């Protein structure tokens, strides 16, 4: 037998294996969509505008922007029973001192209370922070923890997160004493009362404007994005670090509006190495948005890497405007608000290839009408399925709750 035969066979085996990996990574991973609930636009709510959270029993909670008795939105709960899901409404907003236009996702504390914000309503009509506590006789009791007044203190909150130690952090779209470009705030409880503190006021072109999304790393640092402002007025990624009893804001990346992306709407998430991942609604080589990574270098610098540029090609989604999530294997999932085969948005998966590149595949092209359109952020259930809401369509054109089985 010729001596070169074993080497040739080995080379063939390696090439075949690599090609198999490449093909597998690039093959679309279809997911099966199941509609769990369709909103009717009445007392059950209409037009859910954010992601979902779960309790320990597997029930799903979320908010709708409108609907309810006063068209001011509701907090809803979906309870599974066999293959069916039943919706109940723990709280309906009245649009007065309790707030209006809730936006999530909601946040749990260790006692089983739910916290969230409304963009409107309250004493000054520019938003509230609220708490829902389980009542002893069943049902839920609502409390307004803080009412926004605009100006220095901010107005129109759009997010709330918890550090698990009784401190809550959030952002407002607008407000601040100088350019009204939004603020980052802290809300903490002490001796039965709540104290509100402004941690940072955005200034527009120097450091960003209209903040969107907020997250914490393991060291207690805050990260987020601004939709506008920054060096090129195309948005930023920022860090707010606690040091010496003070909070200091730093800009990690200013988007140029070109191939690196334009207008990040949804904040960032953090991996175990401290790197950040997010999306922009526009920009990129296809001018339809990007998925980006900010690599944290040893010298303290941050370097942006575009993992995927969306293209309006009749298949790929466009305009990603919701937060990304990781699963337990390191895959990234997210949604686009438009595009896809039916133009109603997509759910996508992003997998890191063996050579370090990332491969994006559409796992669900939303079909509109009965299947929903304009999907919000995804949430990963303990069962390994993805759960989410669509802002529009459904049987009654008021949105729906869905499950995706990858």
119 and 199 together in one domain: no
How many independent structural domains does the chain possess? 2
Kind and range of the H or E run holding 14? helix 4-26
Q: Is residue 298 part of a domain?
A: yes
Question: How does pLDDT run across 355-370, given as a tens digit for each residue?
Answer: 989 999 999 999 999 9
4 pLDDT above the threshold of 60: no
Boundary-marking domain end, from 292, 309, 326: 309
Distance of CA 63 to the CA centre of its chain: 14
Q: Is residue 230 part of a domain?
A: yes
Question: How does pLDDT run across 136-155, given as a tens digit for each residue?
Answer: 888 999 999 999 999 999 99
141 and 75 together in one domain: yes
Q: Is residue 403 part of a domain?
A: no
129 and 159 together in one domain: no
103 and 87 together in one domain: yes
pLDDT at 392: 97
Full-prediction pTM beyond 0.85?
yes
153 and 292 together in one domain: yes
Residue 78's beta-bridge partner residues? 60, 87
Question: How does pLDDT run across 190-209, given as a tens digit for each residue?
Answer: 888 999 999 999 999 999 99
- Joined together, the tokens standing for residue 286 give 């296809």
Boundary-marking domain end, from 147, 172, 188: 147
- The residue written with tokens 């050579």 in the block is 355
Q: Is residue 386 part of a domain?
A: no
Mean pLDDT, all residues of the chain: 91
Q: Is residue 279 part of a domain?
A: yes
153 and 290 together in one domain: yes
Kind and range of the H or E run holding 52? none
| CA-only gyration radius of the chain, Å | 22
- For residues 55-84, give the mean pLDDT: 96
CA separation for the pair 23, 352 (Å, rounded): 13
Percent of the chain scored above 70 by pLDDT? 93
Q: Is residue 380 part of a domain?
A: no
Could you tell me the residue range of the domain that residue 186 belongs to? 148-309
19 pLDDT above the threshold of 60: no
CATH number (domain holding residue 302): 2.120.10.30
CA separation for the pair 114, 131 (Å, rounded): 6
pLDDT at 136: 87
Question: How does pLDDT run across 214-243, given as a tens digit for each residue?
Answer: 999 999 999 999 999 999 999 999 999 988
134 and 190 together in one domain: no
């Amino acid at each position: 037998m010729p001596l070169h035969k074993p080497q040739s066979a080995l080379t063939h085996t390696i090439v075949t294996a690599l090609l198999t990996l490449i093909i597998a990574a690039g093959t679309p991973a279809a997911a099966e969509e199941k509609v769990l609930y369709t909103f009717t636009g009445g007392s059950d709510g209409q037009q859910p505008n954010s992601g979902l959270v779960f309790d320990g029993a597997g029930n799903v909670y979320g908010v709708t922007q409108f609907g309810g008795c006063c068209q001011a939105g509701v907090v809803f709960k979906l309870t599974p029973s066999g293959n069916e899901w039943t919706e109940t409404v723990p709280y309906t907003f009245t649009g007065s001192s309790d707030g209006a236009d809730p936006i999530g996702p909601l946040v749990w504390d260790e006692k089983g209370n739910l916290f969230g914000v409304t963009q409107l309503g309250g004493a000054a009509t520019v938003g509230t922070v609220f708490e829902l506590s389980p009542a002893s006789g069943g049902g839920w009791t609502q409390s307004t923890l803080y009412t926004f007044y605009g100006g220095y203190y901010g107005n129109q909150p759009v997010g709330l997160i918890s550090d698990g130690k009784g401190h809550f952090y959030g952002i407002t779209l607008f407000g601040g004493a100088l350019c009204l470009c939004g603020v980052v705030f802290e809300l903490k409880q002490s001796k039965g009362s709540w104290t509100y503190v402004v941690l940072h006021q955005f200034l527009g072109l120097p450091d960003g404007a209209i903040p969107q999304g907020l997250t914490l790393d393991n060291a207690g640092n805050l990260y987020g994005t601004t939709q506008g402002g920054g060096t090129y007025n195309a948005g930023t990624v920022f860090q707010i670090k606690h040091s010496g009893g003070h909070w200091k804001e730093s800009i990690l990346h200013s988007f140029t509006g070109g191939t690196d992306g334009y207008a990040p709407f949804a904040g960032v998430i953090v991996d175990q190495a401290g790197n950040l991942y997010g999306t922009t609604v526009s920009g990129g080589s296809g001018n339809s948005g990007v998925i980006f990574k900010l690599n944290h270098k040893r010298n303290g610098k941050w370097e942006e890497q575009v993992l995927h540029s969306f293209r309006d090609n009749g298949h790929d989604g466009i305009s990603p405007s919701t937060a990304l999530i990781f699963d337990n294997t390191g895959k990234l999932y997210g949604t686009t608000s438009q595009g896809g085969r039916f133009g109603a948005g997509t759910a996508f998966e992003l997998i890191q290839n063996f050579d370090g590149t990332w491969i994006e595949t559409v796992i669900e092209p939303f079909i509109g009408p009965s299947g929903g359109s304009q999907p919000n952020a995804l949430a990963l259930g303990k069962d390994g399925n993805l759960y989410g809401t669509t802002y529009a369509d459904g049987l009654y054109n008021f949105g729906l709750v869905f499950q995706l089985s990858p």
